[in-house]
Structure 1
């Protein structure tokens, strides 16, 4: 080769490299400002365009992971070395094999760990008003794609990084809202007009064990089915006042189903993060008891990964496009284990938060690069531990088990006078120094055969609402759980089960998540000090999804097998319905099946007549009260064929028309309350109504105050925190949660002005009373049952005590405290309002209202109790301190008001669209019902 030719070739390569670099603009060149510049935010439209430019690099691959609820593309930018990018399929395969740990020997796992690359997930923007998250994602992508320093190159060689935008719709809304003001100093994030996720806003981070939202489904598939990263980092805001950020490790309690390596893995990453900040002279990292964040709750983007053996990281940082001040918080200025390097009060700029976030990302990635084989092996080890625990007799330690050991020991001690005093455990269950409990008390509890963990669960196909049970199974499948289906009838432990039943065994890597979805949570009694007030959980204390969805299942304690086929990972199931082939006078749909309401709404929309059966009917099997009867017609048969195939409903054919009175069903004009800025509970119900094909209209306080409500609507639904308490009537006001700092209408764009306002006793309540008296119905949920007090109905708050002065006051937290948990209530299932419900059901209860009703009001029919607490121990899952106070308290009632009806449901019957076992308590109230022959 001639010297000239070599020179020409080198020059050509230089030109190509130069041209390539020009196709990768810096953020300043693309957006027109640096990421972190004060008073500037990027929209998602701009960000999407930038990611597509970065995708031309040989260090990247841009993946469209699905559509958002508003119809945008949601992207994940994969970044690694050019060599790794060519072999992404292999590294994904290795990650899946190690995470699932199926059939791998120790030697095989070590070999795969050595071959593979650490998979690290970094997201941003889930909560769109937390603007650091989206912007650190942009800057991180640029740095990883453009930098050539040794650390970056080492990271790219050893790590595959999944940079994922968690909420495209929210970034577009928030950034446009902020940037609409032409003068930078006047820009503000305040008074966002609606939720930054179409339906659920901030609750998009409470959706990850059921994945109702499209964004959750997109993310969940990448996390739990496709990539299964060993480390995931979820960026959030806002840090505790007086600090810059809160991060790992987190405060107790952590969930008892976790593998301890997951907990200590968080510790290791937390140490790497805080050490890097300290080395870079970046103070203000708060951890452990310095913040409210724990690892108890499932359902969050970060926390659900904990139940899958992933090192899930969360940081909550201060900052935003508008500069702010770090306030003086004296107690945070003293170095301690929570905050070893306090930050001093100062003015804080957006760029500082971006710089901190980059340091935290690089700390995480550097750890993964240096320990890539270790993190890969460790997720295998945790998965293998889970398989072993699910394959053998195993007992999970929890507070109720420890209480049982102590109680057994103390019961024997009381038989010996004087012995108990020296060996009485303290509040936390610890014995005095030198004390101890003999081994037999441990063995009695922790080796009792009936108390061991189950080997699996059977979700039988012949349960009343198998369609909802299939939705539960799909929730498991979306989170990467291995599910099996019975191909023929089978028998386990003497009980026969039909073909089509689902089997979920616990001898699999994600066993912690399986137990968490089927078994009750046992939250410890957590108080600030002995006898003091309770420490509020970060979110719910109990949430067992099988309970919330009223799924019928059996816990199997011994190993079992049968004619089972393993379903492919991630393959969702369709419910399997049945329709009688015989023709007759008509068809029946069960009121027990949620999907029956979809079928009915579709029938009504197509003009088919539908009736309800107040007394049920006789057929091959007994037909319960409230079931739907559809007279035979060709149009009905076609629609029901479709419903059976697509919705999984069972359609029963009747040879003759049912005798007795029938109740004709017609669609109601349904109004759903909402407010400026958006109500998350209302958003969940709006989504729910769309899924079940109920037509609704959102209304606001101004619509209610305008009056003439009965001319427009038949029923108005008020979710929790809509209706405030009237003075000292005994209800708990929550409307200020949404109404505080309410904007002035004249300051808003005209399209949003009709949304401003709140429900008031002066204007709104009189209109609601007129609506009821004119024959309208009102459904209230949670604290909006305060309406009963406004209407002076004969009900009182059941959870009060008398003071020394003879006045009533709410029970203090030291005596009674029930954060979000699952309780059991007794139902009057003969009432039209409760058709399709069992006599006992689980409800989601979050410090919910409980009522005491005057006996004569019940006798006269002024109030009809629908649900109540019939025992002093209704707790099913979570934490209920002082639950005995609930006994005989009324949880739900119906009260006639003029020609209309008020329905009051204290529990959260539509909670986050998870509480599917109680959806019917809302659905039953959404039809007009007139008696017909």
Structure 2
């Protein structure tokens, strides 16, 4: 028996040693040490290494999905061999604790003691930020190879999800950097295209809607499958004079957060900076030492905040090409932002890798020591959310405090400054009660999305965005009544009594960004990204906000399972079919019909109460077959008509569409390219050289210029941002296949050719700053956001008077216009310091400009921050203008913004058909 035991032990030891020998170090696999100057891997090499690491009994390799370019995206699950055997149980505990449904305090404590802390660490989302990519490889090797007590404790107490965030970009950047044989000549500069197929850097702005495949792969792991307690997102670069910017972050944080999430970031952040200080690694800055905050939703890190996760971001200096830590004198004095400053010095890639591994270990060490606390706290946050959504609750928002303060100050003025009933250092309680006990100002108990709204497939797209982010959705199985209003079966119900209540509120409710200034009367502090983004507003969803508790014949939909609108094809359609101009998916159906040779018409006056611009398809067997497929695939409602519509019919014809792009890639153009593919609009990319070559009418009918394509006319008051790269490479510096994409739009060569294109009958659609084209063409419009100086000259309004970062505003439209068919007369638009115009006094009368959208109100803000919004009143924000035989369309707002602004897609799509 003893002999058998010894033989068995010897066998296991031999297997273990053999296994260890099969896992090479990074240097043995890649041929260089991770962090060596002038060396990067590509994804093909890294994928192969991940597969070798998977031979370890500490690793499970998981394919989480395909990328936009068709690569496998991998996640390494790292833990002790014993934990990996019980992985399903630890995943179950993690998701149960995060959702907090039906758990008592005793059960939650028991699960917290049984479970393991789940920690997400990613790298490479922004592929030119090469520290993030390479630290992931080095961290994985350390966790697989090291046997020190700390590593063994981490493996025992945690489950680590090491996730490659952008395989496609890694392949591109790695190959581009290493293309030079001489190491000293290697550089990332001049990258020829975006490092995510469509959206490049904006892949970190996609996580509450998850349009991109990589976002969907990552989102499923974060919000449905695992719901980790900590997620750590690696980025570059730190502010000049620092090595790394990290947690905690500057104010403001979003007011829907549970305070435990914010203080959780504080706790882990302390562990991170303490470890660097112990290891004599200076240069960590936090709080006001960097621009990063926790206000925004939509980023890989920031969306997790709305799911009660401790979301961490660091921004690290360093590149494979050695660099310098510059001398920034005001960063040399220790303070609360930077307790241990770094001094100027030469900086090598390996230093950044070492910092990153230390920070990863700091996070994992904290998680291993506080595993039960992390699990219990995420349960507690979820339970808090359920409780808040189950009762009357008033969120503490700036607008509520402003209302309270203004009421008190008004009364003080009336009463001559008396302050009866005032508490010491405060104001009388009645002012608090008037706001925070006002029943009309309560947070909602839920939202109802009626199934009978026109555009229900649009609403279903919105609901699927919620489902992808782990939100619990209910659907009505029968008709029901809430608050005296009847709703049909099939309506969606989103209750706020759920653990991810912060995210639910953030998708339906306005963001209320505070007035944030450097000092009273001084310039505003720009938000890290957007100030307002409410997705239901951006997508034009019709919903009801329910303030009292409600129930009905509702079934809970399974977490993570997408839904489809039922759709309906009319049983009787003797003369033909109609498709709503309000449905985005109608454009997919129309494009499929046109490509199959089926006739399609639009009805300028509508039909039988339907909106102007309704599509009409004459009855035929082919039309019925294609529409039946659209109903099944898209959930469209297709109505039938017994008689051909009387009145005007205009035939729809496909157009030859060009979309501007530039060398290195434009993110706004990439988003539109993705949209064109999704909605089946055939198009070609158009670069400056081809524009300058002329004869555009022979090839194209319509050209789209997204924001930052057309440079400013500096004398127009239109602003001075042209949106171009600081340095474009020379032709002989890049491969031949990319040389035709070099160049930029110039007033000297490009604008005259665009003018000819228009005069000869072409259409040009301009968005955002590219509405500058109107100034180049000397159209009778001017910048509305200017003031006169003392010297009698015009200047743009200063930020102290007018400042609107990315926010949602409401505009007025005339939906009977061909350009605005399918829109509501009051519509929400995404506005980011966008152009606003004044028209020449006789422009409308002469027909030289036709307004399409304008600001009728002095308070158009719907979500976000709009300082000085009264300046907008009366301004035109979209117009069309004839130019010769053609037409220029100018849309100041970002009508295609990050493919989130789906409520305004029609303002582009309407212009992409010929009508006759």
If the length of structure 2 is used for normalisation, what is the TM-score? 0.99
Q: Which residue of 1 aligns with 2:721?
A: 734
Secondary structure of residue in 2 paired with 1:411:
helix
Superposed counterparts of 1:27-46, under 5 Å: 27-46=26-45
**Contact residue 136 and residue 357 of structure 1 kept, 8 A:** yes
**Contact residue 121 and residue 232 of structure 1 kept, 8 A:** yes
Distance 2:19 2:26 in 1: 16
1:377–1:189 Cα change, 3 Å: same
Superposed counterparts of 1:607-622, under 5 Å: 607-618=597-608, 622=609
**Contact residue 719 and residue 796 of structure 2 kept, 8 A:** no
* Deviation, structure 1 residue 855: 2.2
Distance 1:317 1:252 in 2: 21
Superposed counterparts of 1:527-926, under 5 Å: 527-618=517-608, 622-735=609-722, 737-926=723-912
Distance 1:23 1:447 in 2: 67
> How many pairs align?
916
Q: Please, which runs of 5 or more residues in structure 2 have no aligned partner?
A: none
Distance 1:137 1:51 in 2: 10
The superposition leaves residues 36-84 of structure 1 with CA deviations (integer Å, 9 ceiling, x where unpaired) of: 0000001100000000011011111000000000000000000000000
Distance 2:5 2:613 in 1: 87
Q: Which residue of 2 aligns with 1:238?
A: 237
Distance 1:815 1:6 in 2: 82
The superposition leaves residues 113-159 of structure 1 with CA deviations (integer Å, 9 ceiling, x where unpaired) of: 00000000000000000000111000000000111000000000000
**Contact residue 449 and residue 493 of structure 2 kept, 8 A:** yes
What RMSD over aligned residues (CA atoms) do the two structures have, in Å?
1.3
Distance 2:7 2:676 in 1: 68
Distance 1:44 1:652 in 2: 50
The superposition leaves residues 300-320 of structure 1 with CA deviations (integer Å, 9 ceiling, x where unpaired) of: 000000000000000000001
**Contact residue 394 and residue 436 of structure 2 kept, 8 A:** yes
* Deviation, structure 1 residue 580: 1.3
**Contact residue 745 and residue 751 of structure 2 kept, 8 A:** yes
Secondary structure of residue in 2 paired with 1:409:
helix
Distance 2:607 2:511 in 1: 40
* Deviation, structure 1 residue 435: 3.1
Distance 2:734 2:418 in 1: 72
Q: Which residue of 2 aligns with 1:20?
A: 19
Q: Which residue of 1 aligns with 2:66?
A: 67
Distance 1:39 1:605 in 2: 50
Secondary structure of residue in 2 paired with 1:414:
helix
Q: Please, which runs of 5 or more residues in structure 1 have no aligned partner?
A: 424-430
Pairing 1:182–2:181 present: yes
**Contact residue 589 and residue 629 of structure 1 kept, 8 A:** yes
The superposition leaves residues 376-402 of structure 1 with CA deviations (integer Å, 9 ceiling, x where unpaired) of: 000000000000000000000010010
Pairing 1:463–2:453 present: yes
Distance 1:219 1:6 in 2: 45
The superposition leaves residues 834-883 of structure 1 with CA deviations (integer Å, 9 ceiling, x where unpaired) of: 01111000000000000000120111111000000000000000000000
**Contact residue 721 and residue 733 of structure 1 kept, 8 A:** no
The superposition leaves residues 868-911 of structure 1 with CA deviations (integer Å, 9 ceiling, x where unpaired) of: 00000000000000000000000000000000000000000000
* Deviation, structure 1 residue 463: 1.0
Secondary structure of residue in 2 paired with 1:904:
strand
Superposed counterparts of 1:210-225, under 5 Å: 210-225=209-224
Distance 1:733 1:639 in 2: 48
Distance 1:695 1:6 in 2: 70
Q: Which residue of 2 aligns with 1:201?
A: 200
* Deviation, structure 1 residue 8: 6.0
Q: Which residue of 1 aligns with 2:442?
A: 452
Deviates more, 1:813-822 or 1:5-14: 5-14
Q: Which residue of 2 aligns with 1:260?
A: 259
The superposition leaves residues 711-765 of structure 1 with CA deviations (integer Å, 9 ceiling, x where unpaired) of: 0000000000000112311222433x33221111121110111111000000000
Distance 1:491 1:678 in 2: 51
Secondary structure of residue in 2 paired with 1:866:
strand
Distance 2:619 2:562 in 1: 33
Deviates more, 1:780-789 or 1:567-576: 567-576
Q: Which residue of 1 aligns with 2:506?
A: 516
Q: Give the one of 426, 431, 443 matched to 1:441.
A: 431
Distance 2:624 2:312 in 1: 53
If the length of structure 1 is used for normalisation, what is the TM-score? 0.97
1:822–1:7 Cα change, 3 Å: closer
1:819–1:278 Cα change, 3 Å: same
* Deviation, structure 1 residue 14: 4.2
* Deviation, structure 1 residue 16: 2.5
Q: Which residue of 1 aligns with 2:465?
A: 475
Secondary structure of residue in 2 paired with 1:738:
coil
Distance 2:418 2:111 in 1: 58
1:763–1:274 Cα change, 3 Å: same
1:857–1:6 Cα change, 3 Å: closer
Q: Which residue of 1 aligns with 2:415?
A: 416
Secondary structure of residue in 1 paired with 2:753:
helix
Deviates more, 1:746-755 or 1:299-308: 746-755
Q: Which residue of 2 aligns with 1:102?
A: 101
Q: Which residue of 1 aligns with 2:51?
A: 52
Q: Which residue of 1 aligns with 2:359?
A: 360
**Contact residue 677 and residue 738 of structure 1 kept, 8 A:** no
Secondary structure of residue in 2 paired with 1:739:
coil
**Contact residue 714 and residue 720 of structure 2 kept, 8 A:** no
Deviates more, 1:740-749 or 1:875-884: 740-749
Distance 1:123 1:624 in 2: 48
* Deviation, structure 1 residue 21: 1.2
* Deviation, structure 1 residue 649: 1.4
Q: Which residue of 1 aligns with 2:401?
A: 402
1:8–1:772 Cα change, 3 Å: same
Secondary structure of residue in 2 paired with 1:822:
strand
Distance 1:823 1:870 in 2: 11
Q: Which residue of 2 aligns with 1:484?
A: 474
Distance 2:346 2:710 in 1: 39
Distance 1:303 1:882 in 2: 28
Distance 1:860 1:590 in 2: 33
Q: Which residue of 2 aligns with 1:428?
A: none
